[in-house]
Amino acid sequence: ELKVEQNPLFLSMQEGKNYTIYCNYSTTSDRLYWYRQDPGKSLESLFVLLSNGAVKQEGRLMASLDTKARLSTLHITAAVHDLSATYFCASNTGNQFYFGTGTSLTVIP
Amino acid sequence: NAGVTQTPKFRVLKTGQSMTLLCAQDMNHEYMYWYRQDPGMGLRLIHYSVGEGTTAKGEVPDGYNVSRLKKQNFLLGLESAAPSQTSVYFCASSYPADFTDTQYFGPGTRLTVL
């Protein structure tokens, strides 16, 4: 069974600041997924990282993958209130996906 | 395209009652999944299907059954509901020929078992 751990679980940050969410996974996998979930809503795909060293950026979010360290990061640059949400990372083995417990991000004006 | 839809959106059951959750997708996706989401535990895979007529167990399959009689539909059944099955249930689908395997999620079903 693949285990996925995220930290921190809760993050409160001021607008304009930078921060990084970390995602560790337990077994060899070449793929890492990041999702966003707004309160009471479904999950929306943010990034799919397919190989070691992959980096993807969209707006103020940038995700990277180090398969040797089994680590992915989601970096937030100059946070704005609209980024407040819960962020999940997930990895897969075979056809099964395993999700982290999520990072609840609150951006404070 | 409607994407992934789920029926019903909300349901309250008494212990021991049965029900079926319906997931439908109009994207011609081969793979479909059922997850449950509980506070502090992320999403956990219940069952999944890699094609019409096939199903397989995920991480937490006990107390649930599934069927995939048509490619576009994936049904999740609770034969005898228990309070521990109170959760939000999400269906997802993906297209394996799309190398990214991105999953597309439905809006969720909030189930309460009393």
Q: Cα–Cα distance between B101 and B95 in angstroms, integer? A: 6
Q: State whether A43 and B43 contact (CB < 8 Å).
A: yes
What's the burial of A9, exposed, middle or buried (CB within 10 Å: 0-12/13-18/19+)?
middle
Q: Report cis status (omega within 30 of 0) of the bond before B8.
A: yes
CA distance A51 to chain B (A): 11
Which residues face A65 on adjacent strands?
A: A72
- Evaluated on CA atoms A41, B104, B45, A30, the torsion sign reads negative
- What's the farthest any 2 CA atoms get from each other in chain B? 43
Per residue in B11-62, pLDDT (tens digit) is 999 999 999 999 999 999 999 999 999 987 889 999 999 999 999 999 999 9
- The candidate with the shortest Cα–Cα distance to B58, out of A97, A4, A34, A101, is A97
Q: Which of A1, A92, A99 sits opposite B42 (nearest CB)?
A: A99
Å from A4 to nearest chain B CA? Answer: 10
Give pLDDT, residue B99: 63
Per-residue pLDDT of chain A (109 residues; tens, 9 = 90+): 789 999 999 999 999 999 999 999 998 777 899 999 999 999 999 999 988 888 999 999 999 999 899 999 999 999 999 999 999 999 988 788 899 999 999 999 8
* Cα–Cα distance measured from residue A35 to residue A23, given in angstroms and rounded to the nearest whole number: 12
B47, closest residue in chain A (CA to CA):
A96
Q: In this predicted structure, what is the pLDDT of residue B98? A: 63
Per DSSP, helices labelled H in chain A are none
Read off the pLDDT of residues B65-90 as tens digits, 9 standing for 90 and up. 999 999 999 999 999 999 999 999 99
Identify any residues that bridge with A103 across adjacent strands, giving them in sequence order: A87
Q: Cβ distance A49 to A31 under 8 Å? A: yes
- Can you read off the two tokens belonging to residue B77? 């059944």
Q: Rounded CA gap, B92 and B68, in Å?
A: 13
Q: Is A71 exposed, middle or buried (0-12, 13-18, 19+ CB in 10 A)?
A: middle
Task: DSSP letter for B18, please.
Answer: -
Measure the CA–CA gap between B50 and A5, rounded to whole angstroms.
27
pLDDT at residue A29 in the model = 73
Bridge partners for B58 per DSSP? none
Q: Which residues of A touch B103 (CB under 8 A)?
A: 33, 43, 45, 97
Instruction: Indicate if the alpha-carbon torsion angle A31, A36, A39, A43 is positive or negative.
Output: negative
Cβ contact, residue pair B45, A88, below 8 Å: no
Distance between CA B28 and CA B73 in Å, rounded? 10
In the sheet with B65-67, reading across from the earlier edge strand, the strands are B4-7, B19-25, B73-78, B65-67
